[in-house]
Amino acid sequence: MLTVRRAVQAEFDVIMGIYKIAQDFMIRTGNPNQWKHSDPAPEQIEADIENGICHVICEGEEIHGVFALCEGTDPTYLYIEDGEWMNDAPYVAIHRIAGDQKIHGIFTSAMEYCKTYADNIRIDTHKENRVMQRVLAKHGFSRRGTIYLKNGEPRIAFQWCKSSWRNRWEIAYKSAAFYRSEKNANDFWDNMAQENGGGLSGEGHIDLIMTQLHDSGLLNEQSTVLDIGCGGGDYVVRAAEICRHVTALDYSEKMIAACRRRCEKKAITNVSYETVDFMEMKTEGKYDCVLACLNPSTYHPDALDIMLSMTTGTVVYFSMDSSLENADAEPIYCGCNSVRYAEEYLKEMGIRYQKIPYTYHLVPENKEERKIDFAYLVINKVKA
């Protein structure tokens, strides 16, 4: 078990050794300019320890990680461009976080400690530090803009707030019974596999979004598309008619097989198939369009973050457009499947989007018609 405590001066050499390991790692992994072999300076770490802001992360008696936890106004955070902070409330800032690469969980332990210490946290990192950017997103930090250090160098600013929409969406997702049930297992989706897709009946919703994407120039004959949770291929077939190539992705082998059979029957040849969990893919900026429609694996902010990272063009997110008021009273999803969480999260990040509503008319046998509201969120990263 990892623990966090304040450092003492006798641990200075061990701490500097960890920073040396971190410097080497940054240089080796494509981030040679953030710390180089000169930051943080020994005088800075001595001052951090003296002022009681230097914290170490330990397994037993052995130190494996270090960071500074600073209270009060950080001068470098007074000015921010290309965005804004979530709020002006008091915050703590995390600086100079590093690990010795010997054990996992260093960053998680630091974040758990800081989140129990404060409800509002700010941190920044170098644009080349892709590893840190991914880890921050994973732990609920949203990108806020650009700040500048005392020497004028730019840094990407991030913030976590306990009351943020990202955090609220994450709590709803973790509370949802669906993700703790057998319905979320692979065999459940295997049993659901069918060539007609198994989603909303009819193609009105598909016509709506495909026409919108094509007419607005977001999809064309040169586009590449990733369909996350392709099912039986409803969207794959339509996208393949418009675009150069479509990747059909699902972690159910039988869903992929159903999609493949459907495409083969229609002599569609510009589709490839992947059986994988998209959360584990590393394909930054690979696709022109990434879409997920009524896909339970995308009903949380980490998923939307990854979708946004996979494209330099457009993300299409489709789900129910239900009220968040008393949403936690519905135990299956606790509201995490509502596009309104995604909307508020995008607003919080300062990302613009277009909302396209769709009303589905459900007519059960021998029962009155029921109207169900859905919506597409179209996020064009070029304009966002």
* Cα-based distances in Å from 91 to 69, 70, 72, 119, 226: 10, 9, 7, 7, 39
SS3 (DSSP) at 301: helix
Each residue's pLDDT, cut to its tens digit, for the chain (384 residues) gives: 899 999 999 999 999 999 999 999 888 888 887 888 888 999 999 999 999 999 999 999 999 999 999 999 999 999 999 888 988 899 999 999 999 989 999 999 999 999 999 999 999 999 988 888 888 888 888 889 999 999 899 999 999 988 789 888 988 998 998 887 766 665 555 555 555 555 565 678 899 999 999 999 999 999 999 999 998 899 999 999 999 999 999 988 999 999 999 999 999 999 999 998 888 877 777 899 999 999 999 999 989 989 998 998 999 999 999 998 888 778 889 999 999 999 999 988 888 999 999 998 877 677 777 889 999 999 998 655
**For residue 35, what are its two tokens?**
């710390």
Residue from 262, 313, 316, 265 nearest 291 by CA:
316
**For residue 170, what are its two tokens?**
């994450």
Buried b (16+ CB within 10 A) or exposed e, 19-43: beebbebbeeeebeebbeeeebeee
Query: Would you kindly state where each structural domain of the chain is located, as residue ranges?
Result: 2-163, 176-380
Amino acid at 308: L
pLDDT at 33: 78
SS3 (DSSP) at 113: helix
Instruction: Give the span between the Cα atoms of 85 and 93, in whole angstroms.
Output: 13
Instruction: Give the span between the Cα atoms of 189 and 124, in whole angstroms.
Output: 40
pLDDT at 143: 87
Do residues 163 and 348 lie in contact, with contact meaning Cβ atoms separated by under 8 Å? Answer: no
Which CATH class for the 176-380 domain?
alpha beta
pLDDT, tens only, 164-205? 898 889 889 989 988 877 666 655 555 555 555 555 656 788
pLDDT at 30: 84
* Angle at the Cα of 76 from the Cα atoms of 70 and 82, rounded to 5 degrees: 125
Do residues 289 and 342 lie in contact, with contact meaning Cβ atoms separated by under 8 Å? Answer: no
- Assign a CATH topology to domain 2-163: Aminopeptidase (3.40.630)
The sign of the CA dihedral 17, 77, 5, 31 is negative
Q: Do domains 2-163 and 176-380 have the same CATH topology?
A: no
Amino acid at 315: V
Instruction: Give the span between the Cα atoms of 45 and 50, in whole angstroms.
Output: 8
Omega before 154 within 30 of 0, i.e. cis:
no
pLDDT at 189: 57
Instruction: Give the span between the Cα atoms of 250 and 226, in whole angstroms.
Output: 11
Q: Is the pTM of this model over 0.85?
A: no
